[in-house]
Amino acid sequence: MTLKLYGVARSRASRMIWLAKEIGIAYEQIPVIQAYRLADATTDTRLNTSSAQFRKVNPNGLIPTIDDDGFVLHESLAITLYLAKKHGGPLAPHDLKEDALMTMWSLWAVIDCEPHALTILQQRQLLEGERDLALIEKSKTALQKPFGVLDAALAKRGGTLVGGRFTVADINCAEVFRYAQAAPELFDRFARVKAWIATCQARPAFKEMMAIRNAEPA
C-alpha cells in the first residue's frame, strides 16, 4: 500500500516531502489545504482542514498527517522521525544515543525557535506599513540565543547536528530556520548557521520539495 500524505507543500508537510525525496519514499499526496486560506471553508468544495472528510483522518484539523498502510500519524516532526527510523540509512539514527539527539534537536527547534521564526516570516510578508516592527525586533532578539547555540553545536560537530552527517535532525531544524530567512541579518551574525542552512538547501531533495511548493497556489 502506498504511503498517503495529507497536506500541501505550503505547510509543514514540506518537511515530510523533503525527507521522502531524500530517501526515495513513494507516497500519494492528498492536497488538504489550510482552511484559513479559503474564503469560506464551510462551503468551498476544496478539501481543507475543516472538511468533515479530513477531520475523520485527523480530528485536530491540522496538516500534515500520514496513513502508512493503516497506521495514522499526525505532527510533522513525529512523521519525519518515524519515517527516517522506519526506512533506515544515513538520515536515520544508528543507535539509541543518536535517536535521542535527533529527537532533542527537533523538539528544541519547534519549541524554542519556530514561534519566533514564524512571527518574523509572517510579519515580513505583510505590506511595509502593516508590519509590527517592534514584534519583529522582539522575535529577532529572542532568536539570538538559539542561533548562538546552533552555531556552537555546528562548530563542535563538524557542520551537521548528529553523527557527523546530514540526518533527519538537519531537515527538521533547517525547515524551522527557513522561516527566519525572512530576516537574513540574523544569519549574517552567525556564519556557521548561514553556511549550514545553505548546504542543506543546496541538496537536490530540498530543491525538489521547493519546486513542488512553489508550483502550488500561494
Q: HEC states along the chain?
A: CCEEEECCCCCCHHHHHHHHHHHCCCEEEECCECHHHCCCCCCCCCCECCCHHHHCCCCCCCCCEEEECCEEEECHHHHHHHHHHHHCCCCCCCCHHHHHHHHHHHHHHHHHHHHHHHHHHHHHCCCHHHCCHHHHHHHHHHHHHHHHHHHHHHHHCCCCCECCECCHHHHHHHHHHHHHHHCHHHHHCCHHHHHHHHHHHCCHHHHHHHHHHHHCCC
Q: What CATH code is carried by the domain that includes residue 62?
A: 3.40.30.10
pLDDT at 43: 67
pLDDT at 44: 61
Q: To the nearest whole number, what is the mean pLDDT of the chain?
A: 96
Predicted TM-score (pTM) of this structure = 0.96
pLDDT at 23: 97
104 and 198, same domain (yes or no): yes
82 and 120, same domain (yes or no): no
Would residue 124 count as lying in a domain? yes
Q: What percent of the chain has pLDDT over 70?
A: 99
Confidence of residue 1 (pLDDT cuts 50, 70, 90): low
pLDDT at 218: 83
Domain that includes residue 53, residue range: 3-90
Q: What is the pLDDT of residues 16-47, one digit of tens each?
A: 999 999 999 999 999 999 999 998 877 667 89
162 grid coordinates: 548528529
Q: What is the pLDDT of residues 145-197, one digit of tens each?
A: 999 999 999 999 999 999 999 999 999 999 999 999 999 999 999 999 999 99
Q: Which of 90, 113, 142 is the last residue of a domain?
A: 90
